[in-house]
Structure 1
Amino acid sequence: MPVYTKQQLALRNGQDREEIWVALDGQIYDVSASRMWRDGKHYEHWAGQDLTEELAEAPHTAKVFEKFEVIGKLA
């Protein structure tokens, strides 16, 4: 599985490139197909970031990420 740096992840924010990726617990998910992540934004969260710490304040659990493909690991 490919390994990406935080800088590489940051470019997949739906603004700089078409890909919309987020990281959680060291894994990177492609959320590009989700209507909830249009333009790289999901409520007050931005794509291209590690959302591990922010998940504690979310109204859902990490289980929501199971429907997305893991495309790499965060370095």
Structure 2
Amino acid sequence: MNGLPSYTRSQLALRNGQDKPEIWVAYFGIIYDVTDSRLWVNGKHYEHWAGQDLTEEISEAPHTEDVFERFSAVGLLK
């Protein structure tokens, strides 16, 4: 993960599928691009919203954190 750019929470928040076309989420300090996922339409995935850190919310999901292996890491959360 070295070499990835760092982004603030404010910069991440803009990648919510509404303010900018990118749909990003963070998990344990790593930002993932979920733009191409059919499950993140308009920046929403069930009751979860893009542009934020989902570390605390993953425990409520019906899947494990392994789901992030499907997506590209695009940055680190400052």
What runs of 5+ residues in structure 2 fail to find an aligned partner?
A: none
Task: State the aligned residue count.
Answer: 75
Give SS of 2:53's match.
coil
Q: Over aligned residue pairs, what C-alpha RMSD do you find?
A: 0.3
TM-score by length of 1: 0.99
Q: Distance in 2 between the 1:37 and 1:62 partners?
A: 16
Q: Is 2:33 the partner of 1:60?
A: no
Query: How do 1:1-75 residues align onto structure 2 when only pairs under 5 Å count?
Result: 1-75=4-78
Q: Which has the higher helix share?
A: 1
What runs of 5+ residues in structure 1 fail to find an aligned partner?
A: none
TM-superposed CA distance for 1:63, in Å, is: 0.2
Give the 4+ runs in structure 1 shifted more than 6 A: none
TM-score by length of 2: 0.95
Q: Distance in 2 between the 1:5 and 1:61 partners?
A: 25
